Amino acid sequence: MLNVLGQVLIYIVPFLLVLTVIVTIHELGHFGVARAFGTKIDQFSIGFGKTIVSRRDRHGTEWRLAWLPLGGYVKFAGDLDASSVPDQAGLAELRSRIEAQHGPEAVRDYFHFKPVWQRALIVAAGPAANFILAILIFTVLFSAIGSQVVPPRVGSVEPGSAAAAAGFRPGDLITEVNGRPAKDSQHVIRVVSLSSNTSVRFGVERGGNAIELVAVPQRTQVKDPIAGNVRIGRLGLGLASSPDDVRHIRYNPIEAVGQGVMQVGDVLGTTTTYLGRILTGRESGDQLSGPVGIAKASGALTDAAIKANPDPGYMALNLLRTLTSFAAILSIGIGFLNLLPIPVLDGGHLVFFAYEAVAKKPVAAAVQEAGYRVGLALLAGLMLFATWNDFQKNGLFSFLGGLAS
């Protein structure tokens, strides 16, 4: 029982804590821009379900804390339509009701009667808040801790591997990958892992001379301590730099902001590259993770941070750094997911607003309803696929089978 409780504390609690913070920031993005445009807001909730505590501010907004810590939401006044984009008939009915209850002047305070560009900015502010949060976290980390740059120098080459066939030798320093400077070892590993069965051009420095090598990473199943069993591209290179090669860089606040922006851009670039390869059939999608995989990742990171050093002060600092880094990555993922053009997400609302801006009228109710249902089905399918991946990668099917036997 104590072991189970410990696993819950390590795996579930950090995940829920980080998720709630990130979703709250996302909703605060919507809330802040809506309030700036004078939009009437009925409710802002942290968590779902039964209210633990609540209060109402001078603008009439109810702030509530609920018992289920799975994120939160902001509810605009008059926001009754499931897709939040009522058609002309729905707008007319809503306008009549508002005028009857509060007078004609009150209409302008409601979200659905704001200019379309204001509604679009309110919706886009949620994902934007996620990206800004990630940039702020990375900025603090780069300012306070800096970064360690490990040059991608080849330490070993597996016989018969793709790297050997390409002509790599121990001692080679990789300077470019696909025409772009190789920032460090992690940059090279990231590109190779997402390029299985695809030619990759490497700029290499060997004995003071610059040469170009072309290699094709082979898709290989590996066991990652955090992600589980995944298939990634591998060359058969062992990267190993000497202590003299490793550099520790500290950044001033302005440089740290720039590095934070670049880090967010790198994560988004990696995400879009991987999704593009899935859509073109070059990847299977087994690296996509759902709630189970994300909770396991947060637990594995928490466990590693605790075990890194038994000193309580160091443990606390390392745990804080690990969870904040994880929060930044997860925040980028949530921001990106919400921008997908699926009707139930922010990106779907932006698509509807774009149509309204061009056609000068909202999308028809029947189209909205159909889009909403399709969007729910797509999201449900994506979550099922990601959860299936989580079970496959972490051997949970075998575990459950063992319990049943």
Active site residues: 27
Contact residues for 227 (Cβ-Cβ < 8 A; gap 6+): 287, 289, 293, 297, 393
Contact residues for 312 (Cβ-Cβ < 8 A; gap 6+): none
Q: How far apart are the first and last CA of the chain?
A: 22
Instruction: Count CB-CB contacts under 10 A for residue 301.
Output: 19
- Tokens coding 231: 């298939």
Contact residues for 46 (Cβ-Cβ < 8 A; gap 6+): 20, 24, 64, 65, 66, 69, 72
CA distances from residue 183 to 147, 191, 261 in whole angstroms, order as listed = 12, 11, 15
Q: Could you tell me which residues are beta bridge partners of residue 76?
A: 41
Torsion over CA: 129, 135, 136, 141 (sign)? positive
CA distances from residue 330 to 26, 48, 79, 137, 217 in whole angstroms, order as listed = 12, 20, 28, 12, 28
DSSP, collapsed to helix, strand or coil, labels residue 26 as helix
DSSP, collapsed to helix, strand or coil, labels residue 231 as strand
